[in-house]
Every structure is written in C-alpha cells, then in structure tokens.
Amino acid sequence: MLQIKDLHVEIAGNEVLKGVNLHIKPGETFILFGPNGSGKTTLLMTLMGFADYKITKGSIVFKGRDVTRAPMYERARLGLGMSFQRPPTIHGLPVRTLLEMCAKVGQASSSAGAQAAEASDSEAMDLDALARRVNFERFLGRDVNAGFSGGEIKRSEMLQLMAQKPDLLLFDEPESGVDLENMAVIGQAARRLLGGECEDGAEDCPKRQTMKSGKSGLIITHTGYILDYVNADRGQVMYEGQLCCEARPLEILEHVRKFGYQECLRCFMDEKQTIALNLPR
C-alpha cells in the first residue's frame, strides 16, 4: 500500500525528517508514537503533499505509484485520506457541499479499484445517513468548521473521510481535544473506515474486518485511546525525525507510559551505535 524510502523533509530550510523508512501493507494499521516535535505530523503532511513540506531526498510510493512529487489532489484521488488536527474554517461552504465533493472523489477512486461500486454509490448518496453515524446530521447546513468544538471538528473530519472512502487513512491525533463520549463515536468511525464501512451489528473482529477490506491506516497517537477501537498491527516511535523501536503498539504504549520517551532515546542511541559499529565491516 505504502512504501517510504529514506525520506528527508525540510520545513523552511530546517531538516525535520532525516531518513524515514516505512512499509505499510494492505489491510495493515500502523501506529506512530513519539514526543512533541519529533516529526510525526510532518510525516503525515508530507505524505499528503502539503507545499511547505519539501522533500529533499527519498521517495513515497503509494499503491505502486511514485507520488513523491504528485500534487495533493492526485494523492487524494488515488485513495489517500487524512483527518486534520486543526483544520481551517471555510466560510460560506456548508458541510453538506464539502461532503458531496468528497463523495465524488471517493466514487472516482473506488470505481478505479476492484471494489463493488454499486453498493458504495447508493451509500455515498445518503449523506444524512452517513452523518447520523457520527451524530452530525444537525451540522450539515453549517459552514465547515465554523465555531466547531474539538469533538465536532473530529466528527466532521471522520465524516468527510467516510464520504471520501480512502484506501490509506492518515489520522493525526484523533483523540486530541475530544471528550470520552465523542471518543467512542470517533473511535468507532475510525474502526469502520479501516474496516471498510461495515454495517452496524456485523460484529466481526476488527482485525479480520481490516484485513478483508484491504484498507490501511497510519495513526499518530499520544494517549493511545484510539487503540481501544482499532486493531493496530505495528507501531514505531518517531524520534528526532527518524523511526525506531518497532514493536506491537500496545507494548510501545505501555513502555512509554512507564519509562517515557527518554528510554526510547537511549534505545535509539544504542541502535545508532550498533549501526555505526557495523559500518566499517
């Protein structure tokens, strides 16, 4: 699904990502941990294609296509979707209109794929039903993000992705600024997105759902709350622009809770030394 090789990224002349390698397979969900400022959001923004994130070296291959230099909309149309942490307000643009645009993109990208377009068509049309799943039906007439609370922003982001139906979902801290009640709604929405929009009640285990749907995820989390809802296969810690310490996400979470990221740093330094020692050979 996604193959990142030796990715170096600069923001305003400062190198933030310093050689990131990452491979996410179809149906796999990857969790990104790391302290503030380590480069997690930068990685997501770079994958999505934001202009201020300058790739100086390395490559991004998505669904077999090199998108390292591709414009944002091409990536979106190819099936890459992102939930924003702090999205801008767009005055005069009702949520419903934006959802219609997302649905159009979603249909275009899914019809290119092998999925049954028929079912997705009828579902995409019924935006009200979609909105009800995240308790958002009352907001469809409101301007996008205008005066939304933290939880409302997150629900709106989830809803847009539900209309867009991406194959690789990038979630930037889906739990930040969200109360527990909203967390459940958002968590369930994330699970559905990764599980390929399964119907309510169809209680399959999240892992099997995700595997079946072939949807992949890349999730940034600090608190790990999202792990209560989605099945995460692998995780890694981002530290100073590099990925280290691959392990099962819950293990990483527990480790960070107990020892903090300082411990990661030590481990990371050890790894580096090992590499350095190995180099002459």
CB of 11 to another protein, least distance (A): 14
From edge to edge, which strands make up the β-sheet containing 53-62?
Answer: 14-24, 2-11, 53-62, 65-66
Nearer to another protein, 75 or 255 (CB): 75
Contacts of 270 by beta carbon, 8 Å cutoff, 6+ apart: none
**b/e sequence 52-75, b meaning 16+ C-beta within 10 Å:** ebebeebebebbeeebbebeeeeb
Q: Which is nearer to another protein, 40 or 165 (CB)?
A: 165
- C-alpha 222/C-alpha 99 separation (Å) is 29
DSSP state of 244: E
Type of residue at 111: S
d(CA 105, CA 157): 15
Distance CA 113, CA 4 (A): 22
Q: In angstroms, give the least distance from the CB of 154 to another protein.
A: 15
> Which positions touch another protein (CB under 8 A)?
48-51, 71-73, 76-77, 81-82, 84, 87-88, 90-93, 98, 101-102, 104-105, 108-109, 143, 160, 164
11 vs 72 by CB, closer to another protein: 72
In the bound complex, what is the minimum distance in angstroms from residue 79's beta carbon to another protein? 10
- Smaller CB separation from another protein, 82 or 183: 82
CB of residue 103 to another protein, shortest distance in Å: 10
By beta-carbon proximity to another protein, the closer residue of 83 and 182 is 83
Coil, strand or helix: which one is 149? coil
Q: Nearest approach, Cβ of 5 to another protein (angstroms)?
A: 23
Cα Rg of the chain (Å, integer):
19
Smallest separation (angstroms) from another protein to the CB of 148: 14
Phi, psi of 242 (to 5 degrees): -135, 155
Closer to another protein by CB, 137 or 143: give it: 143
